[in-house]
Amino acid sequence: MPGLLYRDGRSTQDEKDGENMIQCLLTSENGTIEKVPEPCSGCWVSVVAPTVEERAWLENELGVLPEFVSSALDDEETSRIDYDEDARQIFVIVDYPVVGEDGAGVRPQSPLQYDTMPLSMVFLPERGLFVTISILENEVVADMAGGRVRNVDTRYRTRFLLQMLLHISQLYLVYLRRIDRLSSNTEARLHASVRNEELIQMLNLEKSLVYFSTSLKSDEVTLNKIAQGRIIPLYEDDQDLLEDVLVEVHQAIEMANIYSGTLSGTMDAFASIISNNLNIVMKVLSVITIVMAIPNIVFGFYGMNVGLPFEGVPLLDNWAFPLLLAVACCLVAAWAFKRKGLWH
């Protein structure tokens, strides 16, 4: 699977080489997130693209349920929340936005498409751990681990979950605005020249908005279940943060719907323009074909081995007369088509 690009141009492929894809992170006394050698109470265990051995470590050492691990590594898994009463584990999976490496800033003219990928979070209350499992290195985990999100504390698992969900919803808004700008630029180029590259780009953006809209609606359902407080206990501060997340997600859904409708209307309009231009070209070609058929009729008539009009008449019984007659008929036909608006 190809790498992804961050907003600042960094590639996930650059971070994979030589880096351990399992990290244990803990908020220190001064409020910064630091790496710790072993999982401990209150820490965050980040797992990215685990190997078979790392999956076994998750299941045997940390005690994560195998079905949770399998669901976390399924790129077609939809957003949901689950609770296992026997193991007392909470499983939350949401979709976050990504952009493929092809064309993202490297080749500005190449078609660009956005997509969504699942990010799974597991609560292990008996060990005091918060575990995230993702298929690919992603911007959400990188920003949280790199301290680019403020006031993050891994020891408060519920709040940490909501802060991660808030960051995901904000990323949706960033990418949606980027899609809107890219759509406007592509539309401006389409006004100058209707090329396949621009049309393919518009189609890819329309598909991206469909992916975003579907994932956002699934995430909203998961957030509403979290808001009920039945599976994950919520404190007063958590309620305020959850409301912020719901507002951001709702705004992202509205933006995706508006941009999708606008882009769909633009695509339909350009499809009509292309069809109209094709009809105009075909009309002009048909007129030209009719006009150019007139000389063939005249010359074919004079090519018959029979008696012809004006035969033996001075000045008319030569090759110049049929030529002038054909030219005159062509001019008359062209003038008639021009008058009727069939010749542009």
pLDDT at 5: 44
pLDDT tens for 223-267 read 999 999 889 988 888 899 999 999 999 999 999 999 999 888 888
Which residue ranges in the chain fall short of pLDDT 50?
A: 1-18, 101-109
pLDDT tens for 259-315 read 999 888 888 888 887 788 888 888 888 888 888 888 888 777 777 666 666 666 666
> Where do the CATH 3.30.460.20 domains begin and end in the chain?
12-275
Q: Mention the CATH class of domain 12-275.
A: alpha beta
Sign of CA dihedral 156, 159, 161, 166: negative
Q: Which residues pair with 93 in a beta bridge?
A: 80, 120
pLDDT at 117: 93
Token reading at 68: 């949770």
pLDDT at 309: 67
CA 160 to CA 235: how far, in whole Å? Answer: 13
Token reading at 140: 């959400």
**Burial of 53 by CB count in 10 Å (0-12 exposed, 13-18 middle, 19+ buried)?**
exposed
pTM of the model: 0.78
Letter for the amino acid at 322? Answer: P
Token reading at 134: 């993702």
